[in-house]
Amino acid sequence: MVRVHVVVPEGFDNPGQPTGGNIYDRRVCAGLAEAGWEVLVATVTAPWLVPGAELARIVSAIPDGETVLIDGLIASPAAAQLLPHTGRIRMTVLLHMPLATALDTHHDASAERSERIVLRAAAGVVVTSEWTRRQVLTRYAIPACRVHVARPGVDRVAAQARPVSGRLLCVGVLGRHKGQDLLVEALAGLADRDWHCVLAGPLDRDPDFVERLRARITRLGYGHRVRLSGVLTGAALSHAYATADLLVAPSRSETYGMTVTEALARGLPVMAAAVGGLPEALGTTADGTVPGQLIPPDDPAALAAALGDWLGDECCRRRLRAAARQRRSTLCGWEQTIKEIANAVTVHPGENAR
């Protein structure tokens, strides 16, 4: 039996914290176990703070020669704790987002230097999109053979019959990096259209942002049209997807965009900012059709124009709904993600020199 030590943030398995990184980490741990691996999970408290004795104790306890997969949220700022061990364990970093591309993390220049040191010392790096891989190769000059892509998988569900129009859904942590304020500003000029919008996601990560967002919604008189639902999981999240007819992803920063593929897996079209890995997640159908629309990032006027066109053009809506249903067949499941992770962490060390 192949054994792997997985080091992840505390709370990664809490359904009430449904971040993309947490969901990904949970699926990887479960998938490797289902594939017959012995998965030994260790959690670290508040990994975005300066790492200390807790991480050092965990890594020191791992025997020589063992395979370790460590979440980048923990690994990136922890060069001092990890470097003494990189020669005796086989460490692969699972990098969801490079620090230099993140808009919402608590780090400084020293943390970015630490990330560079850690990634260069690691036996391998796993990233969740080709866009992120390019960022890592460009910023940190790591040999290309050591940086592996394992995109998030999806669970395909039956495509839903969609409402006529106007049911907008935005899923993600409420924070500046996810751009919900851009969506609200875009909707400000569409008061005469028939629409309702659900903003689904944790409300406690950036309370100041949420307060400003609520105030703007109130000033616009949109309290009955924009709902901040909080975290939705399970049946409630499935219902939100099933009763929407467009997912909007207005992020300012995104390495991939799991909500995009989750929507497409249900046949739901997507309007997304052309930033980071979002175009990669949106993708195309087998015949090259985009199952939605890409818009300029950080541009509420462009988003308003695109939403206005969407709401006013039934032919466009039908065409993109059909494309979203077709895109479902080109999406990869989690079994492919797990296979790519397994291949990345078991590459023979000698292959890294090529």
Rounded Cα gap, residues 245 and 256, in angstroms: 21
CA 190 to chain centre: 29
Answer yes or no: do 234 and 319 share one domain. yes
Rounded Cα gap, residues 107 and 16, in angstroms: 25
Residue 351 has pLDDT above 50, yes or no: no
Residue 350 has pLDDT above 50, yes or no: no
Tell me, what's the pLDDT at 201?
95
Tell me, what's the pLDDT at 352?
41
Residue 143 resides in a domain: yes
Write the pLDDT tens digit of every residue in 265-320. 999 999 999 999 999 999 999 999 999 999 999 999 999 999 999 999 999 899 99
Residue 283 resides in a domain: yes
Write the pLDDT tens digit of every residue in 222-277. 999 999 999 999 999 999 999 999 999 999 999 999 999 999 999 999 999 999 99
Rounded Cα gap, residues 294 and 272, in angstroms: 5
Contact partners, residue 105, CB within 8 Å, separation at least 6: 48, 97, 99
Answer yes or no: do 112 and 11 share one domain. yes
Residue 160 resides in a domain: no
Residue 354 has pLDDT above 50, yes or no: no
Residue 150 has pLDDT above 50, yes or no: yes
- Taken in order 258, 259, 260, 264, the sign of the CA dihedral is positive
Write the pLDDT tens digit of every residue in 108-134. 678 889 999 999 999 999 999 999 999
Tell me, what's the pLDDT at 14?
80
Residue 183 has pLDDT above 50, yes or no: yes
Answer yes or no: do 304 and 201 share one domain. yes
- Over residues 197-220, the mean pLDDT reads 96
Provide the angle, in degrees to the nearest 10, between the axes of the packed helices 180-188 and 300-312. Answer: 60
Reported confidence tier of residue 51, pLDDT bands at 50, 70, 90: low
Q: In the structure encoding, which two tokens stand for residue 191, read together?
A: 């008061």
Question: Residue 196's domain is classified under what CATH number?
Answer: 3.40.50.2000
Q: In what order do the strands lie in the sheet with 246-249?
A: 226-230, 196-200, 167-171, 246-249, 270-273, 292-295
Answer yes or no: do 234 and 276 share one domain. yes
- In the chain, the amino acid numbered 14 is N
Residue 161 resides in a domain: no
Contact partners, residue 47, CB within 8 Å, separation at least 6: 9, 10, 55, 71, 73, 74, 77
Answer yes or no: do 345 and 269 share one domain. no
Residue 159 resides in a domain: no
Answer yes or no: do 340 and 316 share one domain. no
Rounded Cα gap, residues 220 and 93, in angstroms: 45
Domain of residue 337, residue span: 3-153+333-353
Helices and strands in the chain, H and E counts: 14, 12
Rounded Cα gap, residues 323 and 329, in angstroms: 11
Answer yes or no: do 125 and 196 share one domain. no
Tell me, what's the pLDDT at 49?
56
Answer yes or no: do 144 and 254 share one domain. no
Residue 180 has pLDDT above 90, yes or no: yes
DSSP 8-state secondary structure symbol assigned to residue 83: G
Strand boundaries in the chain, DSSP class E: 3-9, 38-44, 67-71, 90-95, 124-127, 147-149, 167-171, 196-200, 226-230, 246-249, 270-273, 292-295
Tell me, what's the pLDDT at 19?
83
Rounded Cα gap, residues 92 and 42, in angstroms: 15
Residue 32 has pLDDT above 70, yes or no: yes
What is the pLDDT of the chain when averaged over all its residues? 91
Tell me the percentage of the chain whose pLDDT exceeds 70.
93
Residue 316 resides in a domain: yes
Number of separate domains in the chain:
2
CB-based contact 321:165 (threshold 8 Å): no
Q: Which of 36-40, 162-166, 341-345 has the lowest mean pLDDT?
A: 162-166
Q: Smallest Cα–Cα separation from 334: which of 14, 29, 96?
A: 29
Residue 158 resides in a domain: no
Going by their DSSP bridges, the two strands 246-249 and 226-230 should be labelled as unpaired
Going by their DSSP bridges, the two strands 246-249 and 38-44 should be labelled as unpaired
Residue 163 has pLDDT above 90, yes or no: no
Answer yes or no: do 179 and 325 share one domain. yes
Rounded Cα gap, residues 31 and 162, in angstroms: 32
Rounded Cα gap, residues 230 and 241, in angstroms: 15
Residue 162 resides in a domain: no
Residue 64 has pLDDT above 80, yes or no: yes
Tell me, what's the pLDDT at 46?
66
Residue 347 has pLDDT above 80, yes or no: no
Reported confidence tier of residue 156, pLDDT bands at 50, 70, 90: confident
Contact partners, residue 213, CB within 8 Å, separation at least 6: 174, 180, 181, 184, 199, 228
